[in-house]
Amino acid sequence: MLIEKYAIQEHNNSAATAHQRRFEQLAGQVPQVDSLLQKLVDFQIAIPSWALGTGGTRFGRFSGGGEPRSLEEKIEDVGLLHTLNRSSDAVSLHIPWDIPTSAASLKALAAQFGLHFDAMNSNTFQDQPEQAHSYKFGSLQHTDKAVRKQAIEHNIEVIRYGQELGSNVLSVWLADGSSFPGQLNFRKAYQRTLESLQEIYAALPGDWKVFIEYKAFEPNFYSTTVGDWGQSYTLATKLGSKAYTLVDLGHHLPNANIEQIVALLLNEGKLGGFHFNDSKYGDDDLTTGSINPYQLFLIFNELVEGMDARGMNHVSDLGWMIDASHNVKDPLEDLLQAVEAIKIAYAQALLVNTKALQEAQEQNDVTMAQEILQQAYRTDVRPLVAEARLRAGGALQPLHLFRSLKVRDRLVKERGAGAVATGL
């Protein structure tokens, strides 16, 4: 293991005095601080296997070296993150990029790091070398039944891999759509997609869920068959109680009110989970919280309020995953930042005085409602997030420790300067 317990201990000791001062100053102002901290300790965010290497562009790819060369090394990388922040206890795999040679030994390896397998992702947006039919004109929507069948069978195969690994969610993102007006009969494309999904749904084990991800555009630029939350929601509703909508933050048209979409899906019992990232223009897959942290907070505010109102478990009733990928940062440093940003937004949302906010809303006191929200948002909650990490056995400053231990240099030495993540 690259990061020993004593290294974390030493780091925490050296940072303890400064942390303690900051934490105590804040803790005095937080009602029920211990229960808030416990919520932060419990909250876990799954890491996608494809974010462990550089990528996220159809143009040049610039590896920083030391990227995982195998599925096992991807698990090790997530283990490393979890050792540092105690907040990333699961990994989300993509098939066929991540086909395990032995599910049992992969599961055992993951368990060594305290990891489990979150949502399994299918891939019908690329052709694989041995594949009989092409997805050039779509997969589950395709005009040719044989193509649809191939895509359905692939999804069922992904479920089987997931079962062996102990996962219980299938995430389906479809690139299906059209690039030119007239190319597609929208009604037929939707209907075929629904029927294909129904066959996949029929193969879901009893305790499984299926998440239907939507995306406004790309790779198709005229229409996407599951293009927005409404299309995903109608599909999920027709499929049944095990089907839900997945919200990827980067998959909306500019300026969409994502927090309102989230509140509504939650209210309808159809919110499955998230792909966290950030975006300025489109599906940018940038680090969560790097562009619009206020939006992230507003989303978490709806989540906390809505989940509490519905008596939902913050940890297990929704799927919390990152979906990020880019070219210019160390992928592990980037993921540490993303998890930190998510926990900060969650902590801020937990600080919102919900009762006072609801009173202000009922009285149409618009000014006070804004004050209450921003009071929470403008609180520097980083000492709370750090304290939770400390209590969970992680590092007070994960990124700082990652750098001072020269983790990337050690990975480059071990795996090579030219090591590029497999599968992307």
The residue ranges that bind ligand AOS (CB under 6 A) are 50, 121, 173, 213, 215, 248, 275, 283, 323
Q: How far is the CB of 119 from ligand AOS (least distance, A)?
A: 10
* Residue 402 interface partner, choices ligand AOS, Zn ion, none, CB cut-off 5-8 Å depending on type: none
Residue 28 CB, nearest approach to Zn ion (Å)? 32
Burial class (CB in 10 A: 0-12, 13-18, 19+), 317: middle
Binders of Zn ion among 77-96, rule CB under 5 A?
A: 89-90
| Complex with Zn ion: residue 168 or 178, whichever CB lies closer | 168
Residue closer to Zn ion, measured from CB, 196 or 224: 224
**243-248 β-sheet, strand order:** 47-48, 90-94, 116-121, 169-173, 209-213, 243-248, 271-276, 319-322
Q: How far apart are CA 49 and CA 335, in angstroms?
A: 11
Neighbours of 122 (CB within 10 A): 26
| DSSP assignment string, 282-343 | SS--BPTTSS-HHHHHHHHHHHHHHHHHTT--TTTSSEEEE----SSS-HHHHHHHHHHHHH
| Nearer to Zn ion (CB atom), residue 239 or residue 324 | 324
CA-to-CA distance for 240 and 216, rounded, in angstroms?
Answer: 24
# binding residues, Zn ion (CB under 5 A) = 7
- The nearer residue to Zn ion, 278 or 376, going by C-beta atoms, is 278
What is the 3-class SS of 148-166, one letter each residue? HHHHHHHHHHHHHHHHHHC
* Binding residue for Zn ion, selected from 12, 44, 92, 245, defined by CB under 5 A: 44
Q: Which residue is nearest to ligand AOS (CB)?
A: 173
The residue behind tokens 């790779």 is 219
- Cα(138)–Cα(151) distance, rounded to whole angstroms? 9
Judged by beta carbon, residue 100 or residue 273, the one nearer ligand AOS is 273
Which of Zn ion, ligand AOS, none interacts with 89 (beta carbon under 5 to 8 A by kind)? Zn ion
Tell me how far, at minimum, the Cβ of 80 lies from ligand AOS, in Å.
Answer: 21
Q: Which of 98, 283, 330, 334 binds Zn ion (CB under 5 A)?
A: 283
Pick one of ligand AOS, Zn ion, none as the site partner of residue 340 (Cβ within 5 to 8 A by kind).
none
Quick one: what does residue 50 bind among Zn ion, ligand AOS, none, with the CB cut-off 5 to 8 Å set by partner type? ligand AOS
Tell me the residue type at 266.
L
For residues 236 to 265, the per-residue mask of contacts with Zn ion, x marking binding by CB under 5 A and - elsewhere, is ------------x-----------------
Q: Could you tell me which of 294, 213, 288 has the C-alpha nearest to residue 252?
A: 213
CA gap 144, 148 in Å, rounded: 7
Place of tokens 């160390």: 330
Q: Which is nearer to ligand AOS, 158 or 388 (CB)?
A: 158
Measured from the CB atom, the residue of 174 and 390 that comes closer to ligand AOS is 174
- Residues near Zn ion (CB under 5 A): 44, 89-90, 248, 275, 283, 323
